[in-house]
Amino acid sequence: MDLQAFLLTLKLATVTTAILLAICIPLAAWLVLGRARWLAVVEAAATLPLVLPPTVLGFFLLVLLGPRTAVGRGIAAAIGHPLAFSFDGLVVGSVIYSLPFALQPLVAGFSAIPASQLDAARLLGASPARIVRTILVPLAKPSLVAAIVLSFLHTVGEFGVVLMLGGDIPGATRTLSILLYNQVENFDYAAAMRTAGLLVVFSMVALILIYSRARTRLKPQGERSRA
């Protein structure tokens, strides 16, 4: 097994998840608290990566971030190298690709909080930022956990975007799923089996951890532990 690919995958998923939380908590709060009709357009755009084939997304990003566009040239000038075929490029791609997986649980969790409680906070003078910090996030903790795990695992399992945007550079863009693809192409089925097995076990363990947490929450009403 390729340890480098494994560590790179974990790094990519961790960085992506952290960025997604920083984007999606305010974005979800805005979608839930805001009243403007055109917010539906924002929500639709944020859900688009869910329905687009990853290769389509990767292709658009490759073109956008490449030297043919002003955006791509601007970024290349700013950071010293083009974003495509670099780890930073993968992070950008992964953030967009996994955005719905972080956003949807948060929107669902925030929406489940009764509007009357948000009204009460508003009337007591709380700013939107304080409402997010003191009401939305603490009350939607299970959704926050779901958002973290789903975006992390979704990034771990990402393939199409990485292939289009990252290529196959060891230590920079060669993630586990790319490694697996290479191994199968080279008919190295034994190594491929190990890589695929690792991905399955890793994802399964993470999911078991969340679901067992969720089950203890549903259990007896008698004791209330403070987390």
Partner 1 sequence: MPKPPVTTKPGLEFEIDARRGGFHLQVAGDFTDPWTVIFGPSGAGKSTLLRLLAGLDVGTLVRVALNGRVLSDDEQRIAVRPGKRQTGLVAQEPSLFPHLSVAENVGYGLDALGRAGRVRRVEEMLSLVGAAEFAGRRPQDLSGGQAQRVALARALAPAPLLLLLDEPFSALDGAASDALLERMQAWVTANRIQVVMATHDATDALALGAEVLLLEEGRKAAQGPAAQVLAAERTRLIERLGR
Which own/partner pairs from 205-211 qualify as long-range (CB within 8 Å, at least 24 positions apart)? 206/149, 206/152, 206/153, 207/149, 207/153, 210/145, 210/146, 210/149
CA atoms within 13 A on the CB side of 132: 19
Paired tokens of 183: 């191994």
Provide the minimum distance between the beta carbon of 116 and partner 1 in the complex, in angstroms, as a whole number.
Answer: 4
Residue closer to partner 1 by CB (options 29, 83) is: 29
Residue closer to partner 1 by CB (options 70, 124) is: 124
CB contact at 8 A, 93 and 166 = yes
Residue closer to partner 1 by CB (options 117, 212) is: 117
Q: Report how far residue 135's alpha carbon sits from residue 206's, in angstroms, rounded to the nearest whole number.
A: 27
Provide the minimum distance between the beta carbon of 174 and partner 1 in the complex, in angstroms, as a whole number.
Answer: 44
- The pattern of x and - marking residues 2 through 41 that bind partner 1 according to CB under 8 A reads ----------------------------------------
Residue with tokens 């490449």: 66
Paired tokens of 122: 């508003």
Residue closer to partner 1 by CB (options 80, 224) is: 224
Residue with tokens 């658009």: 60
Q: Report how far residue 216's alpha carbon sits from residue 110's, in angstroms, rounded to the nearest whole number.
A: 21
Q: Report how far residue 34's alpha carbon sits from residue 48's, in angstroms, rounded to the nearest whole number.
A: 20
Provide the minimum distance between the beta carbon of 126 and partner 1 in the complex, in angstroms, as a whole number.
Answer: 6
Provide the minimum distance between the beta carbon of 130 and partner 1 in the complex, in angstroms, as a whole number.
Answer: 8
How many positions of this chain bind partner 1 (CB under 8 A)? 17
Residues 188-227 that bind partner 1 (CB under 8 A): 224
- The pattern of x and - marking residues 138 through 177 that bind partner 1 according to CB under 8 A reads xx--------------------------------------
- The pattern of x and - marking residues 93 through 132 that bind partner 1 according to CB under 8 A reads ---------------------x-xx-xxxxxxxxx-----
DSSP 136: I
Binding site for partner 1 (CB under 8 A): 114, 116-117, 119-127, 134-135, 138-139, 224
